[in-house]
Amino acid sequence: MFDFDNPLDRSGTGSIKWQAAGGDRLAMGLADMDFRTAPPIIEALRARADHGVLGYTQAGPGFFDAIVGWVEIRRGWPIKHEWITPCPGIMPSMAHLLRATLEPGDGVIVQSPAFSPIPVIVEQNGLRVIDQPLLLAGTRYQMDVDAFQAAAQQPDVRAFVLCSPHNPMGRVWSRNELAVIADIAATNDLLVISDEIHAEIVHPWAEFVSYGAVASDSSRFAILFGPSKGFNLPGLRTSAAVIPHAGLRRDFHTELHRVNEDFGINVMGAVALEAAYSRGAEWLDALGAYLEANLEVVQSLAAERLPGVNVITPDASFLVWLDCRGRGLSDQELRERIADRAGVVVEYGVSFGLTGSGFIRLNIGTQRGRVIASIERMGLALR
């Protein structure tokens, strides 16, 4: 019913991903997809554009109803309308939350390899990154709970940024893992900011559990998410924060007001979010099946064409973490082989922290022909 195989030409659209690649290189790095978004979203956007007036806009009842329904049905967590705050994006919201609640010099726990803007946001807001490397056992990452507890007990460590599912390797944390973290956080009064932007696409072998579903409503946490990754809408810069704790929510709103981020929302972003969460499920499920087939292609081709490279199978998202350490190449040599020789633009693991050295992140949210071509090109370049 939905055509994900038709390659789209994104030239002339201002695509950051493809403009950075340039020439005939394959853009397989930045985490946006090369698919048209769900038809109900396009229809809703067209209808709003046809209306013709795009003035200052506030989120209406349909915006909140769509989020409440989606979170309960897709994430199994009943939430209240008043917990929801419309936001301009995950990273800005994270920065606002940190500024609203912490003092300069406070420590923030970040689990590496980590999505690179997270530690940057921590540091640029005058805070300290408390690096907590995840443990890789074979091809499966685990949290170091003992190290997390030791860090949480330090009096100047005030917050934890949870990435769930984790970017870059797509790990979905289990209910038990999250419950242990939630208990430690509550005991030590840690603010928990859970970045759940990649939770829309979860593969059948995993079950996503929101941090909010295991934490007490009285504890201090914020769940940040939106349709930008799952429905390929990052250019609309629209998301939501769910904060049950009234005091934390009030502090967040105060900070949003301070930086003038509380006067209206992106009109098209609000339209797209409502359409995605109220009428986009069928398209999203079809996309998930297509991405699973892309992942199978990567796994089978990598075994043939990329000896010494292990695929860290993701539980979620359209990003694949490849362990290239078996090739015995430095990060610079990897870049020279893959970008210069193969003409494939990927994200290099070292940009996610030192624990990512020797890895690459491959975006498979594109047409299958491009996925196949990228593996074949890399195979030739890595020989």
pLDDT for the residue numbered 87: 96
Contact 87/240 with Cβ under 8 angstroms? yes
- Mean pLDDT over 132-152 rounds to 97
- Please report the pLDDT score of residue 23 as a whole number: 84
Percent with pLDDT over 70 in the chain: 100
Residue range 109-126, pLDDT digits in tens? 999 999 999 999 999 999
In this predicted model, what pLDDT tens digit does every residue of 174-191 receive, in sequence order?
Answer: 999 999 999 999 999 999
For the chain, list the domains and their CATH numbers. 16-37+282-381 (3.90.1150.10), 43-279 (3.40.640.10)
**Confidence band of 353 (pLDDT split at 50, 70, 90):** very high
Show the CA angle centred on residue 15, arms to residues 316 and 52, nearest 5°: 100
Whole-number Å distance between alpha carbons of 364 and 176: 30
Q: What digits encode the pLDDT tens for the residues 154-178?
A: 999 999 999 999 999 999 999 999 9
Torsion angle (degrees, nearest 10) of CA 284, 199, 137, 379: 40
The whole-angstrom separation of Cα 22 and Cα 317 is 25
pLDDT of residue 75: 93
Task: List 131's β-bridge partners, or say none.
Answer: 110
